[in-house]
Amino acid sequence: LLLLLLLLLLLFLLLPFSSSSFSFFSFTFSFFAMGLGGFVLPSFPTPCRRRDVLVLTPWLAPIVWEGTFSRDILDAQYLQKNLVTGVVTFAVEKYCYVQFIEGFVSSANKYFLAGHPVNFYLFTDCPEKTSHLQMAPENHLFVIPVQHDPRWQDISRSRMDILSSYIQSQFQHEVDYLYSVDINVQLLAHIGVEIIDALVATISSWQVTPQQEDKASETHPESQPALPEGQGDFHYTASFYGGSVAEVYKLSRACSAGLLQDRENGIEGPWHHESHLNRYLLQHKPTRLLSPEYYWDTELSSSSILVKRMCPVHQKRKETSEAKTRMIIKACD
């Protein structure tokens, strides 16, 4: 059954496009997907196909770009399943992340899976600063108190441990899919159910520009996520990833264990949990990739980015002689 499905996918990609071939492929894919018993979104259910970008990985996972999906079709399938999606984010006062809460929540409430139920889980040491936030009727905001760590590197390390612990104790009973999103972002356009799949990763915006850098790879040979030279598929950002609750639990547990091992060995890599995320995704291939338009650095430019769906609110850290952190904020374009 799976072999036949793969053959159909290859035929669709190789044959000249027509509305009849699209309709047949979309129906056939949906039929087999339902037959497999799970919620599987058609990879490219749209008459508009991108020719200027990579839309399929070597392991046949779709790469989602503007123009490669039909939201109406996907919404209809998603609604039939009566699913709930969760979003996890962290905001800690010491490093000024609390000031991003209102901007993140208001934009995510407007653009993230609009019209579908979403549970937002906000971990913060300042829960009193969230009481005024208003949510859409179908959405819920859960504020979870957390103590801040003395350094932002420790916050980065503890995220995976906190995530896996709460999945086991709470989230697995409340949501079907779970996504981790940085608090210091603004959503600028709709992010819909095209992101839903078992294991989802977002390609770094630096990967599609001439200025691309190896931002996610760990080079310390004794570090848990260290990659041999020349290995790796894509560079994934830790600012936006997710999938089914079961898959995110496995990911967060593995990354947490690697981070703990590095800490015991006295190793502190420059990219912290993002390096461990990339190592995990090299060994456990994502079933769906989101293009850089889902987390686009507005300091970059690329003709392939037709829509900027989410972007960071840039910040620069400067250590003073008293080891205090100052934040210089530049609003997202």
CA 327 – CA 329 distance, rounded (Å): 6
Please answer whether residues 223 and 273 qualify as being in contact, where contact means their C-beta atoms are separated by less than 8 angstroms. no
Q: How far is CA 329 from CA 64, 90, 326, in A?
A: 30, 18, 10
**Band of pLDDT at residue 301, cut at 50, 70 and 90:** confident
Average pLDDT estimate for 305-315: 89
The domain 81-330: what is its CATH number?
Answer: 3.90.550.10
Which of 2-11, 17-26, 152-161 holds the top average pLDDT? 152-161
Give the pairing type, strands 139-145 and 118-124: parallel
Q: State yes or no: pLDDT of 259 exceeds 50.
A: yes
Q: Enumerate the known binding-site residues for UDP-N-acetyl-alpha-D-galactosamine.
A: 90-92, 95
Angle subtended by helix axes 152-169 and 245-264, to nearest 10: 140
How confident is the model over 22-44, as pLDDT tens digits? 333 443 444 344 333 345 555 54
Q: How far is CA 198 from CA 61, 176, 277, 328, in A?
A: 11, 10, 16, 37
Q: Enumerate the known binding-site residues for Mn(2+).
A: 182
Average pLDDT over the chain, rounded to an integer: 79
CA 155 – CA 274 distance, rounded (Å): 13
CA 233 – CA 262 distance, rounded (Å): 23
| Domain parsing of the chain, residue ranges | 81-330
Residue showing tokens 């339902």 = 34
How confident is the model over 112-127, as pLDDT tens digits? 999 999 999 999 988 9
Q: Which of 12-21, 102-111, 129-138, 271-280 has the lowest mean pLDDT?
A: 12-21
CA 295 – CA 25 distance, rounded (Å): 30
Q: Enumerate the known binding-site residues.
A: 90-92, 95, 182, 274, 297
CA 280 – CA 138 distance, rounded (Å): 33
CA 315 – CA 22 distance, rounded (Å): 44
β-partners of residue 236 are 203
Average pLDDT estimate for 305-317: 83
Buried b (16+ CB within 10 A) or exposed e, 54-79: ebbbeeebbbbbbbbbbeebbbebbe
CA 292 to chain centre: 10
How confident is the model over 185-218, as pLDDT tens digits? 999 999 999 999 999 999 998 776 554 444 444 4
Catalytic annotation on 274? yes
How confident is the model over 139-151, as pLDDT tens digits? 999 999 988 765 5
The model carries a pTM of 0.79
Point out the catalytic residue in the list 93, 274, 293, 319: 274
pLDDT on residue 295? 97
Helix (H) or strand (E) segment spanning residue 260: helix 245-264
